Amino acid sequence: AAQQAGDELGYSVFVVGGFVRDLLLKVPTQDLDLVIEGDGHAFARVLAQRFPEGQLILHEQFGTARLEFPDGSHLDVARSRREDYASPGALPQVEESRLRDDMFRRDFTINAMAIAINSTRSGELVDYYGGLRDLKQGEIRFLHNLSFIEDPTRILRAIRFAGRYGFRLAKETRDGVDTALSTGVLRKLSNERFTEELMHMLRELRFGVMGESLLQMGVLKEWFESELAWDFTHPVLNKEVPPKRKWLICLRKMDLSQFERVQEKLRLSKELRGLTQKFFEVMTGLSVLRSSDKISLEDLDHYLEGLPKVILEVLMLDERFHDSLKRYHEATEGIKQKVDGMTLLQWGIKEGPEIGRILKSIRSAWLEGEIHSEEDEQKFVAE
Ligand code: ATP
């Protein structure tokens, strides 16, 4: 469809960026980026006619357009950037130099390739900077020395792509990271941007590998301005498990001040922030309990009742809490408490603190094994 639209309007059309990289690597990819030589909006409108299920969004300011599909994927259209307006009759060399400039503004050679899709040159790979070579060598290479100074998020992107594909950073690129970090380049980044990049990593399969690189290259130390007790070694961090679980796992060795530092320097989503807070409260609570002689089930209940499953799963990884959690699990498994606030109201007990007290004592009787069945429960309440 893009070929037809391009041919029809007389525009050169290229697929660019991540799509080309993944196509050459033969790995699945979702989003499609097109760069055209011509009026981006006109092109996008023609294209949109062919995809009635897609929703067309035009950005006036940048002259870019996006088609969004019901499955969540999208197609972006951009004009190869130059400040002047596209002249329909531009010489091919001029067009090519625009594409070259566009590619040069990208982050890494493997992300700076294009494939022509007009019928006259369909499938032709445009690779000005050695992207194909680097794909074969398994290297992430920046396009120029100032790349990381220009945009420090590229440091995290480099680590992410390397981790995802099992690549390494090319020598100069790796040196470039060191230089950029040593000049304090991360200070240019807002908490939002840094968090966003970190969250991109968290959603990747090999988050553990990426985390190790972040540590090794000193990115985390630089960002948090101290060495926190990150732990990226747990094998689950490189498996397909929910991001929030990975998140708690890598934090689990930190102490209170370190947790606070993390919360301070990141703009986590409300959910992740709450979960992190809760996780830490429970860990602290359990550690304090552990130092007392005997932990009662009621004490455990105070911290563990109604806790999100992901927190329990991560706590289970910690040997210190194993026994308590197991004991608690066994005790709560058999609880079939039927009486609730409603029941008590129906039985004529007045609304107020009394209700809460009774419910609490019922639960603790279940926990302590004084109640084993519904009948026991009824009797207990009657008494
Ligand atoms: P992913 O598979 O993670 O989506 P992607 O390469 O498609 O990878 P995007 O973030 O969608 O990643 O970016 C699309 C393209 O835009 C990249 O391939 C790259 O060419 C360019 N790009 C993205 N971010 C930057 C950046 N910070 N600096 C320079 N170029 C960038």
pLDDT tens digit sequence for 21-66: 999 999 998 889 999 988 889 999 999 999 999 999 999 888 899 9
- pLDDT reported for residue 239: 98
List per-block mean pLDDT (blocks of 10 residues) for the chain, which spans 383 residues: 93 95 94 91 92 92 90 90 50 71 95 96 96 98 97 98 98 98 96 98 98 98 97 97 97 94 97 96 86 77 88 90 84 80 84 85 84 85 81
Atom of ligand 1 nearest to the CA of 18: 6
d(CA 17, CA 76): 11
Å from CA of 78 to ligand 1 middle:
13
DSSP track, 167-184:
-EE-HHHHHHHHHHHHTT
d(CA 217, CA 208): 14
Q: Whose CA is closest to atom 30 on ligand 1?
A: 106
Cβ of 153 closer than 6 Å to ligand 1, yes or no, is yes
- pLDDT reported for residue 83: 45
Strands 139-140 and 168-169: parallel
Identify the residue whose tokens are 């398994």: 138
- pLDDT reported for residue 54: 93
- pLDDT reported for residue 340: 82
d(CA 314, CA 234): 11
HSE of 291, CA atoms in CB hemisphere, 13 A: 5
CB of 112 within 8 A of CB of 141? no
Q: What is the ipTM of this complex?
A: 0.98
- pLDDT reported for residue 336: 81
Mutate to test the pocket of ligand 1, among 14, 107, 108, 165 (most ligand atoms within 8 A of CB): 107
Mutate to test the pocket of ligand 1, among 64, 111, 149 (most ligand atoms within 8 A of CB): 111
Q: Tens digit of pLDDT for each residue in 80-139?
A: 755 444 455 555 555 678 899 999 999 999 999 999 999 999 999 999 999 999 999 999
Strand partners for 168: 139
Cβ of 343 closer than 6 Å to ligand 1, yes or no, is no
CB of 204 within 8 A of CB of 176? no
Cβ of 106 closer than 6 Å to ligand 1, yes or no, is yes
State the alpha helices, DSSP H only, in 186-269.
191-202, 207-216, 219-224, 243-251, 256-265
Largest CA distance in the chain: 95
Mutate to test the pocket of ligand 1, among 106, 140, 202 (most ligand atoms within 8 A of CB): 106
**In degrees rounded to 5, what are phi and psi of residue 140?**
-100, 120
CB of 134 within 8 A of CB of 141? yes
- pLDDT reported for residue 368: 81
- pLDDT reported for residue 233: 97
User: What tokens does 201 get?
Assistant: 């990593």
Cβ of 18 closer than 6 Å to ligand 1, yes or no, is yes
Percent of the chain with pLDDT over 70: 96
Q: Whose CA is closest to atom 6 on ligand 1?
A: 18
Cβ of 263 closer than 6 Å to ligand 1, yes or no, is no
Å from CA of 86 to ligand 1 middle:
24
Å from CA of 68 to ligand 1 middle:
18
Between vectors from CA 360 to CA 357 and to CA 362, what angle results, nearest 5°? 110
d(CA 284, CA 194): 28
